[in-house]
Structure 1
């Protein structure tokens, strides 16, 4: 599956770009077969005004809990990578959100996804919304979620 790298909100006020490396990580974890478990990780990148550049997506670790219809990211491993990237970039590459897969062609967030995203946004020290991405078999879903709940949905830009 080939996902597009450039995304925008409906009004084009916010732009989102996924690096080639990030898109490759997403593609490697698509739940293509009935036996594949959900996968996920952190989204690391930089902020440019209202726009986001996702430079890296961490991959599942041995400590993460992976099932067919559930992914629970454990902090160990992911947070070490995020801190390392933050330090090496002198604070320009930061935690911007989370990604995980769904075993469906065109993914939509579940009520559990929504409650987790709102909780993650509320925990942000910098008060920024959380970028939430779900990788499906044929498309992906991307939303910038503020602490108040539903946020801005991104759409692919050709």
Structure 2
């Protein structure tokens, strides 16, 4: 599966680009058959004005809870990577959001996804919307979620 790297809000006011490595991580975790469990991790990248460049998606750790229809990210491992990247780049590469898979072709957020995104967005120290990505079998769902729990859905560009 080949996902597109560039995304934008409907008004093109915010642009987002996924690095090739990030897209490769997404592709490697697609739930292609009935035995595959959900996967997920953090999205790390740089902010350029209102625009985002996602450089890395962390991969599931041994501590994460993975089931067919549920992924629960545990802080161990993911946060260490995020802190290491933040420190090494003097704060340029930072936590921008979360990603996880769904076992459906064209994914949509569940009620649990929405409540979790709202909680995570409220916790953001920089008060920016949190990037939320769901990786489906044929498409991505990409949204910038505000602390109210709703945000801007992005569409592929190109």
**TM norm structure 2:** 0.99
Separation of aligned partners in 2, 1:123 and 1:90: 21
Deviation digits for residues 68-97 of structure 1, max 9, x if unmatched?
A: 000000000000000000001010000000
2:14 counterpart of 1:14: yes
Q: What is the TM-score normalised by the length of structure 1?
A: 0.99
2:144 match:
144
1:125 aligned partner: 125
Gaps of 5+ in 1: none
> Which secondary structure state, in structure 2, belongs to the residue aligned with residue 76 of structure 1?
coil
- The size of the alignment, in residue pairs, is 158
The runs of 4+ residues in structure 1 deviating greater than 3 Å are: none
RMSD of equivalent CA atoms: 0.4
Per-residue CA shift, 1:102-150, capped at 9, x if unaligned? 0000000000000000000001111111100000000000000000121
Kindly report which structure 2 residues correspond to 1:56-67, keeping only aligned pairs within 5 A, or say none: 56-67=56-67
Q: Which moved more, 1:146-155 or 1:97-106?
A: 146-155
Structure 2 Cα separation of the partners of residues 155 and 29 of structure 1: 21
Equivalences for residues 72-151 of structure 1 within 5 A: 72-151=72-151
Superposed CA offset, 1:23-46 (max 9, x none): 000000000000000000000000
CA distance in 2, matches of 1:149, 1:82: 23
- Distance in 2, matches of 1:69 and 1:50, equals 33
Give the whole-Å Cα distance in 2 for the aligned partners of 1:78 and 1:149: 23
